[in-house]
Structure 1
């Protein structure tokens, strides 16, 4: 129990710095600004689900990038063929390659070196590669040009980097404050825009490639007929008309120097004015001079914005685009043109938006449920340990403050699941204090003096605290590694909570308890509960009823597996993809009318989930066939149907998840669960023995199946938050079992001749109170969240409460019998082997 003064100073310094780091979170904005120079860290950043905003994940279209490179190569190769007077029809795209068929050997000999020269690092897309991105091979009558994988990978990297910069410029043009734009993986970009509630405009801004070009219109071709070679039939961007446009680009959009939104002074309609650079101005002057009286098409992303007739030569290099624009559309278009064209199409594979009202409600709910959970846990500790419980509560308060302070120091983003992680951490942090107090009570009952009881109690509890927390930490680390977005925020708060709880329990609480013992000169350290002396629980023979316990557990697990298949889990859009909209109204919603209007949209199956006393509804629609544009159309149609059914409706939350991201989330979620179980198996095997590890995993599988059955039976959304609940439950379940196993290991050393079944009973009875009290503390911290937390955390809180109950009962009733069975099986096997009878167990 002795601690050096330097260690005490270090503990005090860490604690004070943590408190100061958490301080900005309780100060008003004005106070923060006034004392900003004196505050060590900024307040914790709130996630979009707490302050409102839009979140999008965009993926660079690898197929589009490859096709664009092939098209460019084909144009270059045909240019070579024209120079050598070889028919351009000799070159064609065949799959992922370009085949140039030339029967004449001399012509093929002249063309081949020039095609090889096209493999220069310089790229027409505006960035270069460090090595050739094409592979040229020749046969008897053909030259084949293929794109190399290394070149495509370099081109993809460069395309993502260029797209990042262009997206940043586009967002800056619109003027969104504090945007987060960053690369995710090799081909994805994350965009988070606080405060932007309607992502439709953002989709238009980010999803468009903005590849603008100018073409002559061929008036000799019927746009409703079949286009000849060299002519494309394009549709209008703002009207249903069709245009016969020459394939050849008259002026590239790269020659644009500037673009601005404005209004036509005569008609007062929105327009976009543009100007060319010097070379573009010369080209524009030549084209308008040579084609007076002919239509000239301005094409953006394969659609004709406008096709005005050239009235006279335009020599200044300036023009304007007019059409059926709104002022907002003109602003977005000018921003697109100013920022430049993307090197490849971007696909929006995930989209989530939250209104500020829902965000503020989430903050209020998080604070309310957190305080309620904290009060319940504090009350429990006071009831269980009286005045000594106050020391544990001080450590618990310090644990919460330090968690918030470290989150601020790390610059972490606090999300709604993150708040859930802090609340759950409050309940789980009590476990160390319960273990310590239980050990001190045992040492006092055995006749130890105050200081010895304190010393031995902390020492014996220390190993158990480490083992139990490491197993819980394994699940949260994997949750962070394989999770995404808010779920990662939950993992961060849980990891911090686990580490900080060990610090506060093993150092701060220990020092405070020692100080009380020394100052009061206590001879005996009694820790009574609030109502007097602690009464010992009666001794139960759990092994006597082991067959009934295992049969009951097996029946519940088999029933849960059946429920998993029929009716199955209610998978959220995280895993199946689709569109989800949450809307609220000041009056009671007319759900039949809303359902009728939504079903009239012919968007497939529509699911409505009412909550909030009939004033809120969650609308789910399956993902629509087609690309991202179809999802936008469907989302706007849903909003229109809601607005017509509920005049005062406000959209609190919208989510669109594509099949790519949903499949990845499902795969990563289940992989995280599997790896967590493997990590736990290895750790317990290393710390205990193989049958302890196998027994823990066997009981864990029973716990997981029951929890999955709970999801199927209740119909609670099985989404990423649910995966977080399952992983946390795994950590908690193993935590519980490690405590029991640790006591068994201790008793095995102490009572070497005791029958194993009696030793298991004795060990379980010794930790029974701890198991029950820890479960109560964890459940108490979760109950307010489950009742008042709202739909966003419901799929976490209720399953966790159920999981805590299942984990505790399995630790008491199931873990011991399975361990007994494995131990007897192994001993019988070893006895049979020693007797020279492999595989034949010894009876008796």
Structure 2
């Protein structure tokens, strides 16, 4: 195993050099990177919104809008088709997803059905698989009644098409802001995610995305006074619309559209030369210019309304025909609002309203603070782990540290290559990887020490140690990888960033600890030809331990049963302090522009807004405060209105550093996904351990893991810490870590079961735990050191996450010894299931011992 061919050694070092080259763009300035030769990589790790500031907004296309539009369209189609066929009708109306009409002459019912037949024709939906759907069905009732039902399949098809169209419109609007690398993608059937890093003004982005921007030019009806139309019924074919003024001015306008925004080819903000006010200049295409010229020629002297999303922007009088195909829109604009309107008109109208159902905005100053905190925490954790490994393993610890540095280099290289986004939880994943990465080296080194104690020569011990540790390393890391992969597919936002870095870290750890460490050890052996274990190895203090762990199992079972029962009862009675991810609402992080944050003043000012329960508490330094607002009863739009009210109330004295808004629909889905994620993770790991070991091992691992999850939930219940999405990430990581520890112990038990066939099971378990005790303690200690650095110096945002992780590592270490192992005794694990033919070649030293 220690033999390395020349090509393999070259391949390993070329991989490290290539990784360094890939990571290099992250270490230089923009100007220096611009001078890089074209053949060198230029991609950098993309910083998440929580590190560089920006906005994450989830938009939902309103199904009700699509249904309403489809219903109006169907009513219009029925009217047109029956008129073209000269069929008289009455009672044409649409309600819900149905349109009904009564044919006046029952003898014309068949002709009417034939005239309406095109409405029920199959529509091709395209795509890879092709296929078609029926958007409407036709039913015949009594006395000439016909009913057209709009199908759910038809509505879903319209929603899919509208989302596709909306993505392009949103992309054009965001691109007009001049931001770099925005992410715009579909999520599910009716949602769009918009991520704009580095955005300085998230309110402007929301304003641009919230507007449908349907522009129409219609004539103003002067045949009746406006107030009379408001009090009674406006003339047929007209409606009352209001202007954007304060107070709004009503107008009676015709429903008939002269020209729409679809005919625009350009719109630009400009300055009116006569009064120096900002206006929006527009230009029509040839068809729109012709229709606009005809309309203005026929209505000289009359006013016409320029309408945006059913609000009158302005209603100028037509003094002369406008035949050039261009004009101006005025309406008390500022320079910014004129620019925004021009952006909306150039990008085009949305097919339906998009509602903000989730918002996570981070200010640039908080992003800079997060980067600083993450770097400080990572450096402190890394230095602490390096010193720890060097103290216990000396020269071998130095090799492990070099492998750990290489591991971090590989992680950053892979993140750069795949274009992954590095978030603050992602940094936490890297720091956690540092703590766990040394586990593989500890497993190898402790195996080597064990073989030396058994009388092997040092070189033989190295060879056997690497070989026997390999299977344990794979089993231990695969269980954590399963949890990380499920976390990625079922998580969202920053949680996914954590899952990505943790998954990549697990893969690079296996390479760095096994191939790179093994290569360096092989090189050292060839050059120095050592005969003995290096004197710097100081883990002999664990040798000769013979703790009777199983003798205490009844007491530990009682204690853990009481704690677990208390956690379950607390969960059922007190409940978790759910964050906005699971119950909806808003979280706003504020920082006073001058002096300290006045929590009493914040509470008093916000309580007057009638937004329900509002909490204001200190957060980090005295100048910062965290405001929590309960979920609003009016749904997603009410959540946005609440944040806008708070912003208008406090923005004069406070900087809005972070805003998170989760609507009720999203919070319900996140709750479901979180529960399914934990269950799916446990099920996948159960299957893996069952396949690799035996059913008793799988059952023991799951019972121990459930114990860890229950106690961690109890921690959240009794400390009152907020339980949010990062808490789910913490629980799933604890699951992976706990199973990692359990699998190492189980692996040694499986090995001993094959060697000592007649040794009593409690004695065999104690022996296995004692022989792996040094690895268990050292790995737990390094992980705790790494997490402690993150907890103390990583900042407030991830403090609850790392606190849960610290508790979980301690509990996971305990459960791997006192829960997972005794379960094997309770379920009467039989050693004969491991007796194989190759065991006959191994001397049964256990028989003599027993």
Q: TM-score, normalised by structure 1?
A: 0.92
SS at match of 1:266: coil
The corresponding residue for 1:224 is 230
- Measured in 1, the distance between the counterparts of 2:417 and 2:216 equals 49
Q: TM-score, normalised by structure 2?
A: 0.92
- Measured in 2, the distance between the counterparts of 1:714 and 1:34 equals 54
Counterpart pick for 1:582 among 589, 592, 599 = 589
Asked if 1:215 corresponds to 2:218, the answer is yes
Aligned pairs for 1:187-336 (under 5 A) are 187-219=190-222, 220=224, 222-228=228-234, 230-239=237-246, 240-336=248-344
Change (3 A) 1:426 1:309: same
- Aligned residues of 1:62 and 1:156 also touching (Cα < 8 A): yes
What is the CA distance between 1:400 and its match in structure 2?
Answer: 0.8
Change (3 A) 1:468 1:226: farther
SS at match of 2:146: strand
What is the CA distance between 1:760 and its match in structure 2?
Answer: 1.2
Aligned pairs for 1:382-421 (under 5 A) are 382-421=390-429
What is the CA distance between 1:441 and its match in structure 2?
Answer: 0.9
- Aligned residues of 2:703 and 2:819 also touching (Cα < 8 A): no
Change (3 A) 1:234 1:784: same
- Measured in 2, the distance between the counterparts of 1:3 and 1:825 equals 40
- Measured in 1, the distance between the counterparts of 2:749 and 2:830 equals 18
Change (3 A) 1:87 1:807: same
Asked if 1:554 corresponds to 2:556, the answer is no
- Measured in 2, the distance between the counterparts of 1:74 and 1:394 equals 73
Change (3 A) 1:87 1:629: farther
- Aligned residues of 2:186 and 2:193 also touching (Cα < 8 A): yes
SS at match of 1:55: strand
SS at match of 1:524: coil
SS at match of 2:827: helix
The corresponding residue for 2:814 is 809
- Aligned residues of 1:605 and 1:622 also touching (Cα < 8 A): yes
Counterpart pick for 1:568 among 572, 575, 578 = 575
The corresponding residue for 1:337 is 345
Deviation string, structure 1 residues 615-657 (Cα, Å, up to 9, x no partner): 111112123343555434322221222235xx3x222111222
- Measured in 2, the distance between the counterparts of 1:95 and 1:310 equals 40
- Aligned residues of 2:584 and 2:631 also touching (Cα < 8 A): yes
How many aligned residue pairs are there?
Answer: 819
Counterpart pick for 2:673 among 661, 668, 673 = 668
Of 46-55 and 443-452, deviating more is 46-55
- Measured in 1, the distance between the counterparts of 2:31 and 2:341 equals 39
What is the CA distance between 1:371 and its match in structure 2?
Answer: 0.8
Deviation string, structure 1 residues 533-584 (Cα, Å, up to 9, x no partner): 6452632111111111011111111222233234322222222222222111
Counterpart pick for 1:480 among 478, 485, 488 = 488
The corresponding residue for 1:545 is 552
- Aligned residues of 1:90 and 1:100 also touching (Cα < 8 A): yes
Aligned pairs for 1:820-835 (under 5 A) are 820-823=825-828
- Measured in 1, the distance between the counterparts of 2:687 and 2:455 equals 38
What is the CA distance between 1:293 and its match in structure 2?
Answer: 4.8
Counterpart pick for 1:787 among 775, 786, 792 = 792
- Measured in 2, the distance between the counterparts of 1:129 and 1:455 equals 61
- Aligned residues of 2:100 and 2:148 also touching (Cα < 8 A): yes
- Aligned residues of 2:360 and 2:661 also touching (Cα < 8 A): yes
Change (3 A) 1:522 1:501: same
SS at match of 2:537: coil
The corresponding residue for 1:133 is 135
What is the CA distance between 1:374 and its match in structure 2?
Answer: 0.6
- Measured in 2, the distance between the counterparts of 1:24 and 1:369 equals 23
Aligned pairs for 1:119-130 (under 5 A) are none
Asked if 1:371 corresponds to 2:372, the answer is no
What is the CA distance between 1:824 and its match in structure 2?
Answer: 7.0
Of 326-335 and 392-401, deviating more is 326-335
Deviation string, structure 1 residues 294-329 (Cα, Å, up to 9, x no partner): 442322222222333444544444443322322211
- Aligned residues of 1:768 and 1:812 also touching (Cα < 8 A): no
Gaps of 5+ in 2: 125-129, 833-850
SS at match of 2:251: strand
Change (3 A) 1:711 1:407: same
- Aligned residues of 2:182 and 2:197 also touching (Cα < 8 A): yes
- Aligned residues of 1:200 and 1:632 also touching (Cα < 8 A): no
Deviation string, structure 1 residues 508-537 (Cα, Å, up to 9, x no partner): 11122233233322233356535x964526
Asked if 1:44 corresponds to 2:45, the answer is yes
Aligned pairs for 1:485-524 (under 5 A) are 485-524=493-532
- Aligned residues of 2:89 and 2:101 also touching (Cα < 8 A): no
- Aligned residues of 2:240 and 2:253 also touching (Cα < 8 A): yes
- Measured in 1, the distance between the counterparts of 2:488 and 2:181 equals 25
